[in-house]
Structure 1
Amino acid sequence: MPCLNEAETLALCVEKARGFLARTGIAGEVLIADNGSTDGSQAIAEAHGARVVNATQRGYGAALATGIADARGHFVIMGDADDSYDFANLDAFVAALRDGADLVMGNRFAGGIAPGAMPWHHRYIGNPVLSFLGRLFFKTPIRDFHCGLRGFRRDAIRNLNLRTTGMEFASEMVVKATLGQLDVREVPTTLKPDGRSRAPHLRSFRDGWRHLRFLLLFSPRWLFLYPGVALLWIGLAVGSQLLRGPVQVGGITFGVHTLLVAALCVITGTQAIAFAIIGRRFASRYGFIPRSGTYDRLLESLTLERVLLVALLLMLGGFVAMFWGLWEWARRDFGPLDSTATLRAVILAMTALVTGFQLMMSAFMSSMINIPIYERRLADQPVPDDQFRRRNTDA
């Protein structure tokens, strides 16, 4: 149990957990990961038979990570120490773990939420929306992403290399377990009003944003790739029609100004797709997201030289269109350009130049990620045995 000034409810939670262990005959312990309590929570926990470890780094995730690292059991069940979860009835979690599950999540919406246990905006907006996005982004079966009561196989979760220190730790555990193809299940659990007389540590908008930010950052496809592909497709589809001349739909005429908007869509879409590739390469290389064979092969095919070739061809086409526009301008003695054909050529030229330049810079940035952090110096290389003997002989 993570703990920060839970003196009002901690004893009851510890007693319920110990009672569950005694009732089921499970050899286990109650571990309190204290995050700097100043209300005597540590002494209360020890007095009721719990073991206390100190989580020196502040944050919900940091406290949980400390507890997981110090736990001695093969299975771990974690839950808040505010008496909102029923530690006396954890049979469903243990049964699923013994059946082979790596992570077992509680589902409060399936088990029952007592009146006043969850604010309305959490129950009907925050949790459903974030859980839906989690299922959409990561194809996880979990329908209650942020339930604080969950059980897991300790070694499996430690191997996920969880990094976050705040409330988003809960999302990171589910996301990485799903991406790591662990056996993730869900069981009904109940939620009742907590026993605190003070306000909870959770801050709705701040912590909700942290969860949403984490989901987006761990899914470059939804953050960058899909919006980028949509913008690029719209820009190319619309722009290819308007390059020939104005298009009239009903009573509306789409001309050179719409072509300019299409060009912006192409530029923005290309940059978003480049960010998706860079983000995925970085995340998979440094362990934030599990590696994908298909995606890695695609990234390996996008070598610096190949992308640079495409970028140079785009920029060359842009220069050709730009020179044509300058020639047309010169034909008019560098006076006002009333011809929309010239403006279309200039828009095409600028779009190709900017897109090519973006691709060039993105290719170099992506290639920088492939540079190893630690390089072995030539002098540090092991010397073959025959060379070693020759050196000793010469000496």
Structure 2
Amino acid sequence: MKLSIIVPAYNEEKTIERILKKLVDIQLPSQVEREIIVINDSSKDNTESVVTNFIRLNPSAEIKYVAHAVNQGKGAALHTGIQKASGDYLIVQDADLEYDPEEFNILLKPVLDGFADVVYGTRFMGGNAHRILFFWHTIGNKFLTFLSNMFTNLNLTDMETCYKLFRSDLIKNIPLKEKRFGFEPEVTAKISKVPGIRIYEVGISYYGRTYEEGKKINWKDGFRAIYCIIRYGLLG
């Protein structure tokens, strides 16, 4: 089995080398190969030089690098990564340090055991480490998940999580439109409508960062998420 790891990046020069090293070094099950796909969404900092230098110094790692000519948003970067992925399954890994790639093995287990087509890593279940940060962000995430569940008839606890593992043939056949953070509610609404889909959730850690540390999502993205939940929940 081959796992495609999609890494959208925008102005992540401070963290992306550490993430790439983790992605190269993690011990995956023996039957799982990996490819890493970095999509630089027209960063204004030194993200490109950091990535290309890492690739030069690690020639044995299977890393694809794609650069957008203009900034389009995280969703657009994920669209590109999905198109480029050659693995049987694919997973999203943000270029910051909020999620720990060591936990890929937790997400892979329901797949390797033959139970799951899609696995979400939830920040609101399990006993793993969670950084304490924003009260209203937590309330907002839980509200958006609740609203999403109303339209999809799922019982997710963390629709907005970065860690989403998909069977590649499923996600490649879903037409995705949202170019920013609306990707999360859109893809959730659309996969929920796939006949016979098997969706699982597993508890993960969360090492959140502040806006001073580079967090990008804001209240406007929350309103867009509500629109996307209703739009794609009703019309697909």
- The answer as to 2:66 corresponding to 1:53 is yes
Partners in 1 of 2:91 and 2:210 — Cα distance? Answer: 20
One-letter amino acid matched to 1:55: H
Partner secondary structure for residue 165 of structure 2: strand
> Of 45, 61, 77, which residue of structure 2 is paired with 1:63?
77
Tell me if the contact between 1:10 and 1:45 (Cα under 8 Å) persists in the aligned partners.
yes
Partners in 2 of 1:83 and 1:180 — Cα distance? Answer: 32
- The answer as to 2:43 corresponding to 1:37 is yes
One-letter amino acid matched to 2:45: D
TM-score, normalised by the number of residues in structure 2: 0.85
Greater C-alpha radius of gyration: 1
Partner secondary structure for residue 52 of structure 2: helix
Q: How many residues align?
A: 218
- The answer as to 2:160 corresponding to 1:155 is no
Partner secondary structure for residue 110 of structure 1: coil
Structure scoring higher RCO (CA < 8 A, sep ≥ 6) equals 2
Distance change >3 Å, CA 42–CA 51, structure 1 → 2? farther
One-letter amino acid matched to 1:115: R
Shift of 1:176: 0.5
Q: Which runs of 5+ in 2 are unaligned?
A: 1-6, 56-62
> Of 103, 106, 116, which residue of structure 1 is paired with 2:118?
103
Shift of 1:198: 4.0
Tell me if the contact between 1:53 and 1:70 (Cα under 8 Å) persists in the aligned partners.
no
Shift of 1:149: 1.2
Could you say which residue in structure 1 is the equivalent of 2:59? none
Partner secondary structure for residue 24 of structure 1: coil
Partners in 2 of 1:186 and 1:114 — Cα distance? Answer: 17
Partners in 1 of 2:141 and 2:210 — Cα distance? Answer: 22
> Of 173, 176, 198, which residue of structure 2 is paired with 1:183?
198
Tell me if the contact between 1:73 and 1:154 (Cα under 8 Å) persists in the aligned partners.
yes
Tell me if the contact between 2:148 and 2:233 (Cα under 8 Å) persists in the aligned partners.
no
Partner secondary structure for residue 201 of structure 1: coil
Partner secondary structure for residue 77 of structure 1: strand
Name the % identity.
25
One-letter amino acid matched to 2:100: D
Matches within 5 A, 1:71-220: 71-98=85-112, 99-111=114-126, 112=128, 114-116=130-132, 118-123=133-138, 125-181=139-195, 182-194=197-209, 198-203=213-218, 205-220=219-234
The Cα RMSD (Å) is 2.0
Structure having the higher helix fraction is: 1
Distance change >3 Å, CA 218–CA 198, structure 1 → 2? same
Partners in 2 of 1:62 and 1:87 — Cα distance? Answer: 22
Q: Deviations over 1:236-275 (max 9, x none)?
A: xxxxxxxxxxxxxxxxxxxxxxxxxxxxxxxxxxxxxxxx
Distance change >3 Å, CA 185–CA 65, structure 1 → 2? same
Structure having the higher strand fraction is: 2
